[in-house]
């Protein structure tokens, strides 16, 4: 009985460490950036082959550096909405794909990003 408990404890610990390590590893693969959906951006174009809305926008990291990003959404996103996007690393100057996005408020943006996006 004791051996079974010890083996189960070790296996549980290994599983917990593996899941935690995977979560941490995934966090290292992305850079948090911010975008604003604007009416005059050449975005929200329906891709005829998928039916999704394709977006090509300029994002900003927490230091205010510009990063071009592209992503798709199943619905047209709200104009003037701010999104926090997880951009795949390494970042490049031409175009970057994102892993996920989440709508945020203007107050949640870093100061340098607020300056770039003219948030008051």
Supply angle C-alpha 52, 58, 64, rounded to 5. 140
Q: What is the pTM of this model?
A: 0.72
User: Which tens digits make up the pLDDT trace of 10-24?
Assistant: 877 777 666 665 555
Could you read off the pLDDT of 41-76 as tens digits, one per residue?
A: 556 677 777 788 888 899 999 999 999 999 988 888
CA dist 11 → 2, 7, 8, 68, 98 (Å): 14, 6, 5, 44, 34
How many angstroms separate the CA atoms of 68 and 103, rounded?
A: 18
The top-level CATH class assigned to 30-116 is: mainly beta
């Amino acid at each position: 009985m004791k051996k079974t408990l010890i083996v189960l404890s070790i296996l549980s610990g290994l599983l917990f460490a593996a899941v935690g390590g995977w979560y941490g590893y995934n966090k290292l693969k992305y850079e948090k950036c911010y975008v604003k959906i604007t009416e005059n951006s050449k975005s929200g174009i329906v891709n005829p082959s998928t039916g999704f809305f394709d977006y090509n926008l300029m994002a900003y990291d927490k230091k205010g550096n510009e990063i071009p990003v592209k992503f798709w959404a199943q619905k047209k996103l709200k104009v003037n909405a701010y999104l926090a996007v997880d951009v795949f690393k390494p970042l490049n100057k031409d175009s970057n794909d994102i892993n996920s996005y989440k709508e945020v408020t203007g107050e949640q943006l870093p100061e340098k990003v607020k300056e770039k996006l003219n948030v008051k």
